[in-house]
Amino acid sequence: MLYATIVVLCLSVTFANGADVTFGPGATQNTTSGFETSIDDATRSQTLQLFSSKGVAGAREYLKKQLATNNDLPHHDLLISDWLIQSGRMPEAVQILEQLAADSPPRKDIHYTFAWIALGQGRVFDAATHVEQIQKLPFESKWSDGYRKQFTTSVRELQAKIAERRGEWKTAFELFSSLIATKPGSVSIRFGLAKSAFHTNNLDLAQKNLRLLEQAQKPLVLAEVVIAKWYDEVGDIKATEEWFRKSLQRGDPEAATKEYAMWMLREGRPTEVGNLIAGLSTDSQNRPDFKLLNVKAVQMIGDFSKTIPVLRELINADESQKAAKLHLVWALSDSDQVEERRNAISVAKSLLEQVDASNQVAIATLAWAYHKAGEQESAIDTLRNLNSNNLDRDIAFFVACIQESRGEKDLSRALYDAIIKSNGEFYHTTRMPQN
C-alpha cells in the first residue's frame, strides 16, 4: 500500500542535518552566470526598469538595441535569463535558454550559462560537460581581445568551482591560486582558495585568506568558525571543537557561540549548549536566536512542555518565526493535555501556509500533529504528500511511530534502526523505543 511505500522509501534515505535545514530558498550555490557585470550601470538600470514594467519583451527589445553598438555584450537572452533566475523564475529562464540553444549555432556563452545553472543545482557532471563544449567552440568573432580574456578567466573560475564540488582539491587549489592574481577582490575566489588550501594541508595559507575575508566582509566572517566547519566536514571532531573554542576568544562572541551551539546540537550535546549560552551577556541570551537555541537544547533533553511559553513568546513577537512554529508544534504534540495537542494542528497548518506547500518537514510535522491528536486518517492522508529522499531524523521518527501504530512493526523497527545509525540533530531521542 502507499503508506508502506513511503516507509520503505525512508529506509534508504540519507538523513538531513536537522529539521530546520529544509526551510528557506533551497540551494545557496550561485546559479547565475554573472553576465550582467559585463554591462554598464546605466544599461543595467534601464533594462531592469523595463524588465519590471514591461516584462521580458520590453527588456529584450532594449537590449537588442544595445547589442548593436556593443560587441562585447553577451546575447540579450542570456542577460534576461540571469535576471529571471535572480527573481526566482527558474523555469522561465531555462525555457528561454533552451529556445536560444535551439535557434542559435552553438555558442560558448550559452554553454557557460547552462554550466552555472547545473552547478548551482548540484549537477556537477552536467556542468563539466558544458565546460568541455565551451573549450571546443570558437569565440564569437565580434568579441574583443579583452572580452575574450575576461570570458576565459570566468570559465577557469567555473572549472575551479567544479573541481571544488568534486573534491579534487589539488586541481581546485591550482586554479584558485592562478585566479586570485587576476581577481584579488573576488570573495568567492578567495574563499575557494582558502578552502582548497585547507584540503591540501596548507592551513597557514587557508587562515591567511580567511583573515583577508574577515577584513573585507561585514558581518564578520570568523576564520576559526570556518575552519571548525571544514574539520567537521572531514570528520575530525577533536579539531572541530578546538577551532570552535578558539573562535570564542575572538571579537564576536555571539557569532562564535551561535555556530558552536548549533554544532553541539548536531552532535547531540544539548546540556553543553545551555552552559555555552549562559556564558553570554544577559542581553545576548535574550536575543530570539539564542532563546530558540536554548529551546532546542531543552527539547533534545526531553522537556518539551517547558519550551511552550518561550516559543509562544517568540511567535507573538514575530509571526514569521517558522523554526519557532515548528518546535512549538512538536512541544504541543507532546503535551498530556488534549487541547494543546489540538492546538498543535492549527500551528502546523499555519506553518505549512508560510512555507512551500511541498516542504517535507512541514508536511510531516502536520501529520505528526494529527497523529498525536488521535486523527489517524488525517495523518495518513497528509503523509501521502511526503516524497523526500532526504528526511531528517525527527521526521523519520514521526513516520516510524505512525507506522508502528498501524501494526507495521517490522517496517517501523527497520526505520528506527536507520535513525540510530544516522547523524545530525534529533530532538525526539528520549522518545525512541527502548528495545
Kindly report, residue by residue over 277-316, the tens digit of the pLDDT. Answer: 999 999 999 999 999 999 999 999 999 999 999 999 999 9
Average pLDDT over residues 42-66: 81
The answer to whether 73 and 37 have CB atoms below 8 angstroms apart is no
Amino acid at 202: N
CA atoms within 13 A on the CB side of 40: 6
What are all long-range contacts of 128-133, with beta carbons under 8 Å and residues at least 24 apart?
128/162, 131/155, 131/158, 131/159, 131/162, 133/106
Average pLDDT over residues 417-430: 93
Fold for domain 1-24+321-435?
1.25.40
Confidence bin at 220 (pLDDT 50/70/90):
low
Here the cell at position 45 is: 538600470
CA distances from 414 to 11, 14, 298, 383, 411 (A): 7, 14, 28, 18, 5
CA distances from 186 to 19, 79, 120, 179, 217 (A): 33, 21, 18, 9, 11
Summarised one tens digit per residue, pLDDT across range 85-132 is 887 788 888 898 899 888 888 999 999 999 999 998 899 999 999 999
The answer to whether 127 and 115 have CB atoms below 8 angstroms apart is yes
Q: Using alpha carbons, select from 22, 19, 3, 17 the residue that is nearest to residue 415.
A: 3
**pTM assigned to the model:** 0.80
Q: Which CATH class is domain 26-166?
A: mainly alpha
Here the cell at position 61 is: 527589445
Domains 1-24+321-435 and 26-166 share a fold: yes
Summarised one tens digit per residue, pLDDT across range 222-268 is 899 999 999 999 999 999 999 999 999 987 889 999 999 999 999 99
Greatest mean pLDDT among 23-37, 43-57, 220-234 lies in 220-234
Confidence bin at 219 (pLDDT 50/70/90):
low
| Domains in the chain: boundaries | 1-24+321-435, 26-166, 168-217
More confident residue, 405 or 45: 405
Confidence bin at 24 (pLDDT 50/70/90):
very low
CA distances from 204 to 189, 197, 200, 408 (A): 17, 8, 11, 55
